[in-house]
Amino acid sequence: MCARCREYREAMGDAGEVLYSAKAFASPGFLRVVAAEGLGVDVVSAGELGLARAGGYRGESIHFLGNNKSLEDVAAAWEARATLVVDGFHDFDLVRQVLPAGAGLRCLVRISPGVRPDTHEQIATGQLDSKFGFPIASGAAREAVERVLAEDRLRLAGIHCHIGSQILDLAPYRRAMAAMLDFAAALRRDLGLVVERLGAGGGLGIAYTRQDRPPSPGQFVAALRETLERGCRERGLRVPALVVEPGRSIAGPAGVALYTVGSIKEIPGLRRYVAVDGGMGDNIRPKLYGARYEALLASAPAAPPTQTVTIVGKYCESTDVLIADVPLPELRPGDVICLPAAGAYCLSMASNYNGVPRPAAVMVREGRARLLRRRETLQDLLAAEVVEVPGDPPALPMVAVDGSEGAQTGLQRPLGE
Ligand code: LLP
C-alpha cells in the first residue's frame, strides 16, 4: 500500500495532488499511514470526515464530495476547512445556511463529462444519466460555475469529474479529460476564467484474478498528465494542477481476507459447498457487482488444486456465495483460506446482517502485525439499541392519547408488558 502511494506520488511529481478515496477503506490507523505518504483524502460524509480527522487529516487536503450532502455534512466540511466539491444546486442552499458571508471556502465543481467507461453498470458514474455531477450538455455545469463565482462563501479552485470504478482501460479517461478541457476552454472564452485545478477522479481497476491486467498507478497518472498537457496545448490553455483520487488501487491489493472453513456439504455429482465464517456481511461485492475473486489455502498457498468447490458464507441467504467453482486443494474444517485483493470495498461496506459482528482488520508489515480495528462483539451490536427489560420502570411517563399522564392505553404500553 505504501509502495502504491509512492508510485502515485512519484508519477504525479509537482503536476498536482493525489488524494486517497476513503470510501475504499477508512480505518483511521490506515489513513494515518496514507497521510504520512503525502496523500490528501476524499470523503463523502461527516462520518468519513471524522474518520479522516482521527487519521490526522486537516484542512484543504480533505476534499468533501457527495451528491446529497446534509447540513451536518456541510457544517463539518466548513469546520474542517475542507475543500468542498459542489455536486448539485442543493449544495448552494446548504452553503448559504451554514457558512458565514465572505467565508471563501475552497471548492471544486463536479462535472458530469458524459463518458461511460467499460465497467459494471452499477459503478459507472460519468455518463449523462447519472445522479452525480452537473452535466455539460444541459448547461447545468456552466450555471454551477457561475453560481460559485457569484457566491462569496465559496472560492472556485477548479473543476472535477469521476467516471467510474474498476476501470481497466485508460481510453475513457482520455475522453473525459477532452470533455473537461473543452468545458474549461469555453469558460475561458466566455467568462475569462482560468481553471486552476482539474480533478480526474479515481477508478483505476486492480487485478482480482490472475487474468486481470490493470494499468499501474504510474501508467494511469502518466496517461492523464500526457492527455492534459497535450489537450491544453491544443486549446491554448494553461495546464491546470491535476487531482486524482484513487481508492481501490491503494487499499485493494493491500488487503487479504482470511476465513476459517467450517461446514463442508457434498451434493454428489453436483457441487461441494465449503462454508466459511464470513460472507456477504463482510464482502457484498460478488453479489452486488458480480465480482470474481480467487482463493488460496493459507497454510499452503502454492499447493496444487485437487477439487472444485463453491465457497459460501454463513448468512441465511442462498445468494451468500463468495466464489462459485473455484479450484482448491483438499480442505478440512479449521483450515484458513484467503481471498487476495480484498482491501477495498469489503470492510467499508460490511454490515451486521444476521447479527454477525464485523471482523477485525490487522495491518502487517515486514512480519509485524498491528491491530487497526478489533473484532466486533455482542456489546457493539447492542451499543445503539434501546432495550427495555421487562419489569424495569418505563423510561418515559406514559401519556394517554388525550395527553393526560398516567393513563395506559394499548398504544403507549411499553414493550414487554
Ligand atoms: N472519487 C469519486 C468521486 C468516487 O465516487 C469514487 C468511488 C472514487 C473517487 C474512488 O474510486 P476507486 O479508485 O476506488 O475506484 N463499491 C464499489 C465501488 C464504488 C466506487 C464509488 N466511488 C465496488 O466495490 O466495486
Q: Which of 2, 5, 161, 316 is catalytic?
A: 316
Taking the mean position of all CA atoms in its chain, how far away is CA 308? Answer: 33
Task: Tell me the CA–centroid distance for residue 319 and ligand 1, in Å.
Answer: 24
CA distance 256 to 301: 13
Distance 168 CA to ligand 1 centre (A): 14
Q: Which stretches of the chain drop beneath a pLDDT of 50?
A: 406-417
26 dihedral zone (left: phi>0; alpha: psi -120 to 50; beta): alpha
Task: For 105, list phi and psi in degrees, rounded to 5.
Answer: -70, 135
Closest CA to 125 of 199, 202, 181, 195: 202
- Residues within a 6 A CB radius of ligand 1: 21, 23-24, 42, 65, 123, 162, 165-166, 201-204, 245-249, 285, 289, 344-345
Instruction: Tell me, in angstroms, the distance from the centre of ligand 1 to residue 76's CA.
Output: 22
Q: How many Cα atoms sit within 13 Å of 402 on the Cβ side? A: 4
Residue nearest to atom 19 of ligand 1 (CA): 123
Which string of DSSP letters, residue by residue, matches 48-117? HHHHHHHTT--GGGEEE--SS--HHHHHHHHHHTPEEEE-STHHHHHHHHHSPTT--EEEEEEEE-----
What's the pLDDT score for residue 130? Answer: 86
Candidate of 21, 42, 293 to mutate for ligand 1, largest count of ligand atoms within 8 Å of Cβ = 21
Nearest CA residue ID for atom 6, ligand 1: 202
pLDDT digits (tens, 9 = 90+) for 153-185: 999 999 999 999 999 999 999 999 999 999 999
Domains and CATH numbers, the chain: 2-251 (3.20.20.10), 257-379 (2.40.37.10)
| Substitution site in 83, 125, 248 for ligand 1 pocket (most atoms within 8 Å of beta carbon) | 248
Handedness of CA 165, 252, 375, 302 (dihedral sign): positive
User: Closest Cα partner for 247 from 11, 50, 63, 47?
Assistant: 63
Q: Parallel, antiparallel, or unpaired for β 361-365 and 368-373?
A: antiparallel
Is 316 annotated in the active site? yes
* Cα 383 off chain centre by: 25
Nearest Cα residue to 63 out of 91, 78, 84: 84
Nearest atom within ligand 1 for CA of residue 166: 15
CA of 247 to the centre of ligand 1 (A): 6
DSSP 8-state class, residue 164 = B
Which residues are bridge partners to 57 per DSSP? none
Protein residue with its CA nearest to atom 5 in ligand 1: 162
State the closest ligand 1 atom to the C-alpha of 167, by its place in the atom list counted from 1.
15
- Separation of 186 CA from ligand 1 center, angstroms? 29
Q: Which amino acid is at 260?
A: T
With beta carbons less than 8 A apart as the criterion, state whether 295 and 337 touch: yes
Are 243 and 200 contacting, i.e. CB atoms less than 8 angstroms apart?
yes
pLDDT at 393: 66
List of residues 6+ apart from 248 with CB closer than 8 A: 21, 24, 165, 166, 202, 203, 204, 205, 206, 344, 345
